[in-house]
Amino acid sequence: MKTTFYDTIKSIDWNDVTESIYAKTENDVVRALSKKRLDIEDFKALISPKGEKYLEHMAQMSRNITQKRFGKVMQFYIPMYLSNECSNHCIYCGFNHNNEMCRVTLNDEQILEEIKVIKAMGYDNVLLLTGENHKNAGVSYIEHAIELCRPYFSAINLEVFPMKKDEYERLIKAGANSVYVYQETYHENRYKHYHPKGMKSNYEYRLATPERLAQAGMHRVGMGALIGLEEWRTEMTYLAMHLRFMTKNYWKTKYSISFPRMRPAAGGYQAAYCINEKEFAQIIWAFRLFDNDVEITMSTRETQQMRNRFVSLGITSMSAGSRTEPGGYSNPDIEKEQFHVNDDRSVEQMERMVRSQGYDVIFKDWDKILN
């Protein structure tokens, strides 16, 4: 039987990992920066407090690696929320089952209205999102939504609840290109605190989702952790371990990572572990040096200033003109949103900003087309 990522980390103690990160020396950082292929100990050094002294050097290396691997381009994508109905009780999420909000799942006519507005923005690449509601927005509903979108988009990506391998195979057949699933936190002992009820409360099942996706033959798998729940350096180290496990064992699959930060949302949950801009930069550059080929995404959770600065510093895709509520493009309603957007610039404004830095903007998923 094939070893799983859970098998790999179940004997690793969270606190021991934290201690090993904070024990890294300046020599460890210098050694990591001199290597062509980094291991997990090197990643720990780059993400450690001692790594802060070398941020400028890491930034330059990150820029060079990204331009060499991806060119001077930025891919734009847009999220399209299909439903905010959810049976989970995640204490930090606006869609929490306990939060009082207007719940809606889009019908065919409403989905087509959203498509119409998104196409008018110039997009050929869409990300479909739902909460976890198997009755009103289950696998069959998502499959049908993909089929509705197929005539209009060259790439259809998903950020939905974890599924079985055969269900992912159905969605691939329907036209799904990528699935993004975030572990939120890798701290198993604390995971249940944040996810007390609902299917999402099953740590091991969620952790194995990227493996089921790769086994099903999904073209791209997106991974990440929510910054603000637990100690961020340790969290990011577990994510790096997960990424390395996947690229080693499922090398035919492409990978994308994201580091969403807590944003104000219904329920009023406050992040316990905040990070500053330098620390956020350290995460991005450590991952770019750790894995030269991984795609790195930055969403509208971040500020305008932050997104402006990182166009040339390791990021490969950004959302633009985003709404986080179902029906939000044709009928905006902040009472239905998952979280408050930080960067609310239009697609046109974002495109001008990116091009002003000498980068081209791509609205298609060229990677899918070339493959």
pLDDT digits (tens, 9 = 90+) for 269-290: 777 788 899 999 999 999 999 9
Q: Tell me the percentage of the chain whose pLDDT exceeds 70.
A: 95
For 303-362, the pLDDT digits (tens) are 899 999 999 999 999 999 999 889 999 988 766 666 678 889 999 999 999 999 999 999
- Would you state the pLDDT for residue 369? 44
Average confidence score pLDDT of the chain? 92
Q: Looking at the predicted structure, is the pLDDT value of residue 268 above 70?
A: no
Angle at 300 between CA 295 and CA 305, to 5 degrees: 95
Q: List all residues 6 or more positions away from 105 whose beta carbon is below 8 Å from its beta carbon.
A: 82, 83, 84, 85, 130, 133, 136, 137, 141, 326
Q: Looking at the predicted structure, is the pLDDT value of residue 367 above 90?
A: no
- Name the token pair of 90: 């995640």
d(CA 98, CA 256): 31
Confidence category of residue 99, pLDDT binned at 50, 70, 90 = confident
- Name the token pair of 205: 């099942």
- Would you state the pLDDT for residue 200? 92
User: What Cα–Cα distance (Å) separates residue 318 from each residue in 137, 298, 307, 360?
Assistant: 26, 5, 8, 13
d(CA 55, CA 46): 9
Q: Tell me the percentage of the chain whose pLDDT exceeds 90.
A: 81
Q: Is the pTM of this model over 0.85?
A: yes
For 215-228, the pLDDT digits (tens) are 999 999 999 999 99
**CATH: 3.20.20.70, 2.60.420.10, 3.40.50.300, 3.40.140.10. Which one for 5-370?**
3.20.20.70
Q: Looking at the predicted structure, is the pLDDT value of residue 371 above 50?
A: no
- Would you state the pLDDT for residue 197? 92
Q: List all residues 6 or more positions away from 39 whose beta carbon is below 8 Å from its beta carbon.
A: none
- Name the token pair of 339: 């979280």
Q: List all residues 6 or more positions away from 240 whose beta carbon is below 8 Å from its beta carbon.
A: 40, 43, 286, 287, 290
For 61-77, the pLDDT digits (tens) are 999 999 999 999 999 99
Q: State the average pLDDT over residues 248-261.
A: 94
For 24-40, the pLDDT digits (tens) are 999 999 999 999 999 99
Q: Looking at the predicted structure, is the pLDDT value of residue 370 above 50?
A: no
Break the chain into its structural domains and give their ranges.
Answer: 5-370
The amino acid occupying position 288 is R
